[in-house]
Amino acid sequence: MLTQAPKGTHDILPDEIDKWIFVEQKFAEICRRFGYREIRLPVFEHTELFQRGVGDTTDIVQKEMYTFEDKGGRSLTLRPEGTAGVVRSYIEHGMASLPQPTKLFYNITAYRYEKMQKGRFREFHQLGVELFGAGDASADAEIISLLVLFFDSLNIKNLTLNLNSIGCPECRAAYNQKLKEFLADRIGNMCETCKERIDRNPMRILDCKDEGCRQHLKEAPVLLDHICDDCRVHFEKVTQKLQDIGIHYEIDKGIVRGLDYYNRTVFEFVSRNIGSQGTVCGGGRYDGLIETCGGAPTPGIGFAIGVERLLLEMESQGIEIPIRPGPDIYLGSIGEKAEKLCEKLAWELRSEGITCIKDIMGRSVKAQMKYADKLGARYALIIGDNEVESNKASLKDMKTGEFKDISLDTLIDRLVKIRETD
Ligand code: HAM
């Protein structure tokens, strides 16, 4: 137990960190191109925020939240997703009074008590954006175009963009009635969760994973066929705009999403390569959420990408990520005087922005060179008593194996120049 991370969590080790940083930086860069600014929020929030925001008939709230009471008796929950917290912050900090729309992006860990699978964890990472104050279809199309540009920038090919509209509360009320009528003589044979949901939130039943229930739902009325005229026009505008930009999509009438806050446009980017947990990104419009959470009526739309799944997809497509190069120089020494000089040189080199690894183990010259090689150092320099006296040393180019005599006074200038031209 002591030496094992909790089930559903995973360490990101130094050998893997470069790909995480690469993806995170690309995401931040693309978000900024679209005018988004980063927001960082607490890992836990008041439980009620998720109950109200995500919805208390969802699997997330009913089955998957990490909820605890703190020492002050408050019920808190580790965030199962990012949107509710961003909405809370938008209201708390009066962001509505800033020039609109408000465009925010985030890079978070999220927590759901789910069954472990490939691509499904209990602690996982999301890169997401939330856009407040823009209700027009242009916002939907722009947010999707941001995602397409991001995936393109990573060279990811063949993700399918699945699109649907789940209407607004008005059209959904009529649809829910139809769905209830359809389910009336089936619900008796469905799971307990579905039975519980039929009166409180019948549409949530469409999200049931139980195979038996799925069979009963095969002929269920389709929401997209029952949306109102306003919602239909909005959806047509979104699809037209995507066509205008040249973004390929597929209409998937089955997407309902696992969170209650959505209305109108919902979408997912799905991979066929990484197994059953193939949804790399999910998002949609949530025009009622800010009001539900206590703010003024404000339209909203956003998405979140699962980073573990994104990296799995990149791996499955054989996409190489630039690896951080080894240190610019390895400095080794033999003897006390040389060690002192090395300490001074290392300080000066590092102050000039050069990556310098210096011996701190007192190893033999042979062992030091072996270590320099393992680190992938570009150059290596070993200083002994002779070098201290002559103020000269032999700089080894670790790529070619060649040695060059240099004056130690010129070492820094030389390395700065080499770095510029290498
Ligand atoms: P979501 O569909 O629940 O939406 O999650 C978004 C993405 O997070 C999923 O498509 C998946 O890639 C990843 N993900 C979800 N659960 C797990 C898990 N247990 N393990 C690994 N990855 C996972 C949301 O979270 C919404 N907040 C998205 C959104 C933002 N909608 C509007 N704004």
pLDDT tens, 3-56?
A: 999 999 999 999 999 999 999 999 999 999 999 999 999 999 999 999 999 999
125 lines ligand 1 (CB under 6 A): no
Chain centroid, CA 41 distance in Å:
14
Residue nearest to atom 21 of ligand 1 (CA): 120
C-alpha 306 to ligand 1 mean position (Å): 6
Judge whether residue 144 has pLDDT over 80.
yes
Q: Which residue's CA is the closest to the ligand 1 atom numbered 2? A: 282
Lowest mean pLDDT among 164-168, 218-222, 227-231, 298-302: 218-222
Which of the pair, 352 or 421, is modelled with greater confidence? 352
- Which ranges in 119-228 belong to alpha helices (H)? 137-153, 169-183, 192-200, 211-217
In the chain, where are the structural domains located?
A: 14-168+227-316, 329-417
Q: Is the pLDDT of residue 417 over 90?
A: no
The rounded Cα 422 to chain-centroid distance in angstroms is 34
CA-CA distance, 106 to 127, in Å (whole number)?
6
CB 123 within 8 A of CB 109: yes
Strand order in the sheet with 392-397: 356-358, 329-333, 379-383, 392-397, 403-407
pLDDT of residue 420: 77
Does the structure show a pLDDT above 90 at 209?
no
Residue 418 has pLDDT above 90, yes or no: no
Band the pLDDT of 192: cuts 50, 70, 90: very high
What pLDDT band is residue 419 in, cutting at 50, 70 and 90?
confident
pTM: 0.94
Residue 81 CA, closest ligand 1 atom number: 25
Homologous superfamily (CATH) for 329-417: Anticodon-binding domain (3.40.50.800)
Atom of ligand 1 nearest to the CA of 126: 8
CA–CA separation, 267 and 302 (whole Å)? 10
pLDDT value, residue 159: 96
Q: What percent of the chain is predicted at pLDDT more than 90?
A: 88
Q: How many CA atoms within 13 Å lie on the side-chain side of 29?
A: 11
Residue 348 has pLDDT above 90, yes or no: yes
C-beta 278 within 6 A of ligand 1: no
Q: What is the pLDDT of residue 324?
A: 85
SS3 281: strand
pLDDT at 276: 84
Q: Which of 103, 88, 89, 134 is nearest to 38 (CA)?
A: 103
- What pLDDT is recorded for position 414? 84
Report residue 277: phi and psi, to 5°. -90, 65
pLDDT of residue 132: 98
Q: How far is 363 from 69, CA to CA, in rounded Å? A: 53
pLDDT at residue 140 in the model: 98
Task: Give the Å distance between the CA of 341 and the centre of ligand 1.
Answer: 54
Distance CA 255, CA 253 (A): 6
Asked whether the predicted pLDDT for residue 358 surpasses 80, the reply is yes
Provide the CATH number for the domain formed by 14-168+227-316 in this structure: 3.30.930.10
Q: Please check the confidence at residue 220 and state whether its pLDDT lies above 90.
A: yes
Q: 327 in ligand 1 pocket by Cβ < 6 Å?
A: no
Confidence of residue 67 (pLDDT cuts 50, 70, 90): very high
Q: What percent of the chain has pLDDT over 70?
A: 100
Q: Between 79 and 158, whose confidence is greater?
A: 79
